[in-house]
Amino acid sequence: MKLCIRSLLLTLVLCELLFAASDAYQSRSGAVRFVIWFGSHHGPEKMAVFVTVLIVVALLYRLRGRLGASLSDACKRKGDYDGALRWLRWTSLGHPSVQVLCNEGLTLCQAGRLTEAEGYCQRGLALSQGGAAYPRLHAVLGFVLMDRGRYDEAERSFQRAIQAGDQSGGSHSGLAELLLVKGLETEKALAYANQAIELSQRRAVGRVHWAHYANRAWALALLGRSEEARESLALALCQPAPRASGTAERHWRAGMALLAMQQPDEACQHFRLGKDADPRGKYGRRCAELLRKNQ
């Protein structure tokens, strides 16, 4: 496994050198002249190998965002955010794509490093010319701004994600959480949570993210509809959450819904589980703080 990873990194280093060479030529014609020169000095067989390697390396370079996300996932599953960030940065080789910057912003947000997270999101938006082609960036930035208490900016960011084509339900769920955290317009928060669920159901995957159900449960609990809230909460808790941050986040949301139902003892059970699941992450620390306040 280690040898395979080292080989991939070596390939990406080669890609870095090739792109640097391309920058030095500063034009396609220069790159073409280089290929012609190589072919004239090394023959057709070596030329074929060279072109094949060049194509493979170019593809790997373009897929570096997915490669980094895949390699960092094992670290995120156990709450090792520094390890996840190292994988994302190593595989980007100093030339992070929009996807890499978005993943770095999200990882930093999950770790509670919000100032850094905002910076990476803003870099991604600049690189993608405002995020029109990558609406998830606006959504991630919305969560970062909400956590920093900049609610108006967060709302605008979620709305921009929706306008840019985010139909995953994530931005609608973010708007629901925003209103729930502010303690305002609970009916509107419930409407956003229901929209998030409906959008998820329309997707090809057909599976509704547990956070949408948890937000609906929280809103229903605040409206005094405890029986419906428990039904929605049960749907949220029955789904898998393989990453440490997701497990802690789900227990935090469950605890908030139960506090709204005037069930502090049951809420503390979830806060304790969330604290233990991700002690280094944002939601684990939130759970620890709420556990101290409500025990």
Structural domain contains residue 214: no
* pLDDT tens digits for range 148-190: 999 999 999 999 999 998 888 999 999 999 999 998 899 999 9
- Whether 11 is in a domain gets the answer yes
Say if 244 falls within a structural domain.
no
Q: Is 31 inside a domain boundary?
A: yes
3-state secondary structure (DSSP) of residue 205: coil
For residues 81 and 75, what is the distance between their CA atoms, to the nearest angstrom?
7
Q: What is the pLDDT of residue 129?
A: 74
Give the tens place of pLDDT for each residue, 34-52: 555 555 656 566 556 555 6
pLDDT, position 85: 85
- Specify the 3-state DSSP secondary structure of 60: helix
Is 183 part of a structural domain of the chain?
no
Instruction: Compute the 3-state secondary structure of the chain and give helix, strand, coil in percent, each to the nearest 5.
Output: 80, 0, 20
Residue 206: its pLDDT value, please? 65
In angstroms, the Cα distances linking 209 to 149, 198, 224, 257 are 25, 11, 24, 17
Nearest to 146 by CA among 168, 114, 124: 114
Query: How many structural domains is the chain composed of?
Result: 1
Contacts of residues 107-113 at CB distance under 8 Å and 24 or more positions apart, as own/partner, are 107/72, 107/76, 107/81, 108/81, 109/140, 109/143, 109/144, 109/147, 109/282, 110/76, 110/81, 110/245, 110/281, 110/282, 110/283, 111/81, 111/280, 111/281, 111/282, 112/147, 112/281, 112/282, 112/285, 113/81
Question: What are residue 266's phi and psi, to 5 degrees?
Answer: -65, -40
Domain range for 56 is: 2-61
Domain assignment present for residue 84? The answer is no
In a domain, 134, yes or no: no
- pLDDT of the chain along its 295 residues, tens only? 544 544 444 444 454 444 444 443 344 455 555 555 555 656 566 556 555 655 555 555 555 556 666 667 778 888 888 888 888 887 777 778 888 899 899 999 999 999 999 999 999 999 887 556 678 999 999 999 999 999 999 999 999 999 998 888 999 999 999 999 998 899 999 999 999 999 988 875 667 899 999 999 999 999 999 999 999 999 999 988 778 899 999 999 999 999 999 999 999 999 999 999 999 999 999 999 999 998 8
For residue 20, the model assigns a pLDDT of 43
The answer as to whether 24 is a domain residue is yes
pLDDT of residue 13: 47
